[in-house]
Amino acid sequence: MSESAFQIFVNALLANNFVLAMFLGLCPFLGVSGKLDTAFPMGVATTFVMLVASLCAYGLNLLLTAFHLEFLRLISYIVIIASSVQLVEMVLKKYSPALFRALGIYLPLITTNCAVLGVALFQTAREYDFVQSMVFSFGGGAGFTLALVLMASVRERLTLSNVPDLAQGTALSLMLAGILSLSFMGFAGLGG
Amino acid sequence: MNPSTANTWDEFMEGVWRQNPVFVMVLGMCPTLAVTVSAINAISMGVATLFVLVCSCGLVSLMRKLTPKEVRIAVYIVIIATFVTAVDYAIQAISLALYDALGAFIQLIVVNCIILGRAEAHAAKNPPMSAMINATGMGVGFTIGLLALGVVREILGAGTLFGITLFGAGFQPWVIMVLPPGGFFVLGAWLLFFAWLERRKLRRAAQPTEAGQHV
């Protein structure tokens, strides 16, 4: 059951979108999607962390399998992800302090973004080879960014409209996410 | 009731009701929405999380004086990951069907913000007993939240409850409810319901309701 790289990419981007179909990474999805200016950089930063983490996880998994230490997989993946988040944080702090401040607390929280750990765990469970893993993590990251940007655009428009008092806040965001998720279901079967 | 038991009860109820992780704090959304397609999955996930939460909060609290402040998050994560690995293997040994149903979400308990949040906000500052009571309350609250979602989604989406068929042959299952969008809609509806309850309570008694209730 070898999937082509293109199939994996389309599946991760649209048909099995990480946020809207697999419920991974909902905390930043609901937290950072208030404004388009922060949503897009957040998506890019997460994608970058995903790529680095996926790369390291692939190498590490070879090592763990060679030494029959599979039970350490979860712990070592988490440590890898935490380190790559630190790396992204340092790079951003140096080259774009404004963005660094805008993302604030959500940047270290990428560590506990289940989408990142999800990528590493899924690529191991599905036994993807190196190229497949990289394509999968890039597709997943792009899908996360897409969902975040779509959501932020909708929410920016909503600030101008008249919403019942009771539905303000999280309930409204969840309803929106449901509708977005409904429309993404139209992509089912696209990746073959 | 003497003051100390009242205090313990208060600490327990904080997680179950006033600070319910699902409905009030809206934390740990990923497992909440992903596994609640049926009531039995929801309970299993809740119990697994409860176990990890109580064990890791207890250990974090025992080690709170030994843990250097700078690396505390890393220490917490490793503690949590250890217990999650144990739960992962335990579920695999007990029921393979359940393991397949919950999938990667058992391992993803590691990144559940509720656990790290409790470790950081409560267990790191309190003695083990108090930390574990607080963690139990949170875990029970989380399980109740999952169950509330799981029951609604299973009844509407499959017409069953705990696998028992509820309606006659004429029932048309509302399939969308067990698909991803249903999770968002049901949780949104629950939040609306609680917002409405809160509003009604405030209107009935024009005084602060929550603060004085258990004191």
Please report residues of A whose CB lies closer than 8 A to that of B82: 75
Residue with tokens 């509003």: B199
Q: What is the mean pLDDT of residues A47-61?
A: 88
Which among B33, B185, B196 is the nearest to A26, CB-wise? Answer: B33
Are A23 and B182 inside 8 Å of each other by CB? Answer: no
Which among A20, A23, A178 is the nearest to B30, CB-wise? Answer: A23
The predicted-structure confidence for A121-165, as pLDDT tens digits, reads as follows 888 888 888 888 899 999 999 999 999 999 999 888 888 888 777
SS3 call for A165: helix
Which among B82, B111, B187 is the nearest to A112, CB-wise? Answer: B111
Please report residues of B whose CB lies closer than 8 A to that of A78: 77-78, 81, 110-111
pLDDT value for A14: 83
pLDDT value for B158: 79
Which among B81, B104, B185 is the nearest to A121, CB-wise? Answer: B104
Measured between alpha carbons, how far is B193 from B198 in angstroms, rounded to an integer?
9
Measured between alpha carbons, how far is A183 from B43 in angstroms, rounded to an integer?
30
Are A122 and B182 inside 8 Å of each other by CB? Answer: no
End-to-end, the C-alpha distance of chain B in Å comes to: 12
Measured between alpha carbons, how far is B9 from B57 in angstroms, rounded to an integer?
18
Nearest to A109 by CA among B113, B54, B192, B89: B113
Are A114 and B108 inside 8 Å of each other by CB? Answer: yes
* Non-local CB neighbours of B179 within 8 Å, separated by 6+ positions: A185, B157
Cα of A20 to nearest chain B Cα, Å: 7
Measured between alpha carbons, how far is B111 from B31 in angstroms, rounded to an integer?
10
- Among positive and negative, which fits the CA dihedral A133, A138, A142, A147? positive
Please report, rounded to a whole number, the percentage of residues in chain A having pLDDT higher than 90: 5
Per-residue pLDDT of chain B (215 residues; tens, 9 = 90+): 445 566 777 777 777 777 777 777 777 777 788 888 888 888 888 999 999 999 999 999 998 888 887 778 788 888 999 999 999 989 989 888 888 888 778 888 888 878 888 888 888 888 888 888 889 988 998 999 899 888 888 888 878 787 777 777 777 778 888 888 888 888 888 888 888 888 888 888 765 545 544 44
| CA nearest to B111 within chain A | A112
pLDDT value for B5: 64
Amino acid (one-letter) located at A138: F
CA atoms within 13 A on the CB side of B124: 16
Measured between alpha carbons, how far is A134 from B23 in angstroms, rounded to an integer?
37
Are B30 and A170 inside 8 Å of each other by CB? Answer: no
pLDDT value for B50: 92
Are B104 and A21 inside 8 Å of each other by CB? Answer: no
Domain boundaries, chain A: 5-175
The predicted-structure confidence for A19-42, as pLDDT tens digits, reads as follows 888 888 887 788 777 788 888 888
| CA nearest to B198 within chain A | A166
Cα separations in angstroms, B45 against A42, B41, B79, B90: 29, 6, 19, 13
Question: What does B149-161 look like in DSSP terms, one character per residue?
Answer: HHHHHHHHHHSEE
Amino acid (one-letter) located at B185: F
pLDDT value for A71: 82
Whether B37 and B150 have beta carbons less than 8 Å apart is answered as yes
What the block records as the tokens of B126 is: 């309190």
- List Cβ<8 Å contacts ≥24 apart for B93-98: B98/B41, B98/B44
Measured between alpha carbons, how far is B132 from B12 in angstroms, rounded to an integer?
9
What the block records as the tokens of B97 is: 């069907």
Amino acid (one-letter) located at B114: I
